[in-house]
Structure 1
Amino acid sequence: MSADQQDDDVASGWTKQGFDRLLSVHRPIVLAHLRSIRKHDPAASPEEVIRILEKRYIRAVTAGGAATGAAAVVPGVGTIAALGISGAETVGFLEASALFAQSVAEVHGVPATDPDRSSTLVMALMMGPAGASIVQQFAGEVTGSGQPRSAYWGELVTKRLPSTVLKGLTDRVRKSFVRRFAARQGASVVFRAVPFGVGAVIGGAGNRIAGKRVVTATKDAFGPAPTTFPGEIRLPDPPRAVAG
């Protein structure tokens, strides 16, 4: 069996287990998340809201990685059990990455309303420059002209690429993502099961590094924050005082 066939089998297995569903969040949840941030800090600009999203995301994935690594220290939690907990934490990392990526896309006014677009966006972001290269190369093939390296590719995935060609991009991104992510997570899961507290350090630090890569990739994908919020996440105007 060739390497490509093995990758297809792995990708198919992950998809059957609901893998793609982990990488997309229902839009009402994303909008509610953003509105809660805006209500807490109504004066925050789009750039400041994105900074808040970044801090929350890094904090969440770092805490998740550390907590999973620390499980190996708890009496009665063996290596096999620790590996199982790490699998659950991996799900949490994927879900947190999906919420973060889709929230940033919303602030930029290019929401990923389709589950396939959402999962493709998150996978590409988690691969960093390699994901960006796949998207830009695919877009160049479809349009017949290469995308300029300065183009913000996040909008290509969420909006500009026609739905009729999106499946080809999703398949290409997924194959590369599964190959990279499965290999990385395989080593990471073992490290998190290291006893004596070492796993907690590796788990938290590893997720922090991975999370920062996603944040950097998101900036490259969407560019500078807009100056105004899109309609869906604007706060209602305060009621006008009634003259007595």
Structure 2
Amino acid sequence: MSAGDPFERFAGVPGTGLVSRAVDAAVRVPSSVIRAHVDQLRRRNPEATPAQLLAILDSELLAVVQTTGGAVGGTAAIPAVGTAVAATLTAADVAAFFAAAAAYTLAVADVHGIEVDDVGRRRTLLLASLLGEDGPRAIESAGLSPTAWARVGLAAMPSTTIQRVNKVLAGRFVKKHLLRRSSLLLGRLVPFGVGAAIGVLGGRALGKGIVAQARAAFGEPPAQFPPRLRVVEGTSADAAPRLEAVADRPDLLGGPTALGGADRGGPGPGASER
């Protein structure tokens, strides 16, 4: 586990290492990749409002999570492959799911005009979204308002507060998904084809939970696309961050994206932070 990992105190709980590594990798996708994907969607949909662009991002996330869930569930039903191989594939499925969730939540932040580079703040955003309805309750128990907390809190909380919030979120996540043993995870490994259905439907349900919590975290979408502001860390761990204007967006009607072309895919897992 990496330094400052909020899951470190749960190292003895089965599955914690897998989740910790998946979260750590997911929150390190470069901001330039998120920015490029949002700008690419705006080029493809030049008349889209922020609310309409968020709906497109919602559809992308749901397509990814239900596809990965169904693929793992289906593998368990293949003769001579079975649940042992599917269990191994589920580790990759977890990583892909967390990467998609992180890319989605950061893209939602971008649509709201907020660019977040700090790994700790990204963990807060991802873990709160993954917790579903427990996310706002965990945020509130850490002493923060659960209403549109990301839009305000991510840009105002000092690093010490972020660390405290992440410990609360990690504890809730372990209790909800690891100590109780996820029935969804086991359901994907049921042989004879049942697992595939559970994987698709379960993945979609998890994705919808992330979409709902992203909405709650940022509040209503702006009427127009706001200028992009980057959250810049304070001079000390107890100092509040500041907001810094990001250079104007590139021409949204054409030109290459940070992915190397105007019409290539969106952000993917495994990229390192800039």
Task: Give the TM-score band, short-chain normalised.
Answer: 0.7 to 0.9
Which residue of 10, 19, 24 corresponds with 1:7? 10
What 5-or-longer segments of structure 2 have no aligned partner?
1-6, 229-247, 255-274
What 5-or-longer segments of structure 1 have no aligned partner?
141-146, 240-244
The yes-or-no answer on 1:85 pairing with 2:89 is yes
Q: What is the match of residue 251 of structure 2?
A: 236
* Residue identity opposite 2:221 in structure 1: A
Q: What is the match of residue 107 of structure 2?
A: 103
The yes-or-no answer on 1:211 pairing with 2:207 is yes
Cα offsets for 1:101-130 (capped at 9, x unmatched): 110011112232211111111101111232
Change (3 A) 1:96 1:237: closer
- Measured in 1, the distance between the counterparts of 2:25 and 2:107 equals 16
Alignment of 1:58-207 (within 5 A): 58-140=62-144, 147=145, 151-183=147-179, 186-207=182-203
Change (3 A) 1:8 1:84: closer
Change (3 A) 1:183 1:16: closer
The Cα of 1:14 is off from its aligned counterpart by 4.8
Tell me, yes or no, if the aligned pair for 1:47 and 1:226 is still in contact at 8 Å: yes
- Measured in 1, the distance between the counterparts of 2:84 and 2:253 equals 56
Q: Percent identity?
A: 29
The Cα of 1:181 is off from its aligned counterpart by 2.6
TM-score by length of 2: 0.74
Query: What SS does structure 2 have at the residue aligned with 1:167?
Result: helix
* Residue identity opposite 1:192 in structure 2: R
Cα offsets for 1:167-214 (capped at 9, x unmatched): 111112112112223256642222111112111000000010111011
Change (3 A) 1:97 1:157: farther
The Cα of 1:24 is off from its aligned counterpart by 4.3
- Measured in 2, the distance between the counterparts of 1:107 and 1:13 equals 32
The Cα of 1:138 is off from its aligned counterpart by 1.9
TM-score by length of 1: 0.83
Q: What is the match of residue 47 of structure 2?
A: 43
Query: Greater share of helix residues, 1 or 2?
Result: 1
Query: Is 165-174 or 128-137 further displaced after alignment?
Result: 128-137
Q: What is the match of residue 220 of structure 2?
A: 224
- Measured in 1, the distance between the counterparts of 2:176 and 2:100 equals 19
Which residue of 18, 21, 33 corresponds with 2:37? 33
Change (3 A) 1:23 1:175: farther
Number of aligned residue pairs: give it.
228
Structure 1's consecutive aligned runs of 4 or more residues displaced over 6 angstroms after TM superposition are none
Structure whose alpha-carbon radius of gyration is higher:
1
CA RMSD between the two structures = 2.7
The Cα of 1:27 is off from its aligned counterpart by 0.9
The Cα of 1:221 is off from its aligned counterpart by 1.1
Change (3 A) 1:19 1:98: closer
The Cα of 1:83 is off from its aligned counterpart by 0.9
* Residue identity opposite 2:54 in structure 1: I
- Measured in 2, the distance between the counterparts of 1:65 and 1:238 equals 35
- Measured in 1, the distance between the counterparts of 2:49 and 2:12 equals 45
Query: Is 19-28 or 5-14 further displaced after alignment?
Result: 5-14
